[in-house]
Amino acid sequence: MKKTLALLVASTALTAVLALPALASSGEHLTLRERVAHWFSFFDDDDHDEHRYGERRRHHDDDDDDDDDHRGPAAAPVGTVAPPANGLFGNGTPPRVQVN
């Protein structure tokens, strides 16, 4: 029992010795609380848009629609099928589109 306890204390001390320099160098201008939060954030691999240290990670959506895995059903993009037969289009030629 004493041997197990000694091993536990030793491993905890070793971890602390290794972790403290990493904590200290993880942000020159951060408080200890922020450093601890920052260190534990390594274990958080969520990719939510969220506030971190007062800096908002914005999700820019400027004409790029391919970055979302939860889109749901989608219409067929231009050029993959003929336009709908709604009587507006003179023939089956797909529209030609350009964004400048």
Partner 1 sequence: MKSLLAALALTTALTAPGLAQARSVTLTTQMNRYGGDGAYLAIYVTDPSGAYAGSLWMAGTRSRYYTHLQGWYAATGGDLAQINGITGASVGAGRTLEITFDLADALFDAGYTLHIDAAVEDMRDSPDEIAVPLTTAGAATPVSGGRYIASFGYAF
Which residues of this protein are in contact with partner 1, per CB under 8 A? 60-65, 68, 71-84, 86-91, 93-100
Q: Number of C-alpha atoms within 13 angstroms, CB side, residue 78?
A: 6
Q: Nearest approach, Cβ of 69 to partner 1 (angstroms)?
A: 11
Residue 3 vs 59, nearer CB to partner 1? 59
Q: Nearest approach, Cβ of 89 to partner 1 (angstroms)?
A: 6
DSSP H or E segment with residue 11: helix 2-25
The two three-digit tokens of residue 7, written as one number: 């091993």
Q: Nearest approach, Cβ of 54 to partner 1 (angstroms)?
A: 20
Residue 8 vs 76, nearer CB to partner 1? 76
Residue 55 vs 66, nearer CB to partner 1? 66
Name residue 2's amino acid.
Answer: K
Q: Write the CA distances from 43 to 3, 13, 46, 91, integer angstroms.
A: 31, 21, 9, 57
Query: First and final CA of the chain: distance in angstroms?
Result: 74
Residue 4 vs 80, nearer CB to partner 1? 80
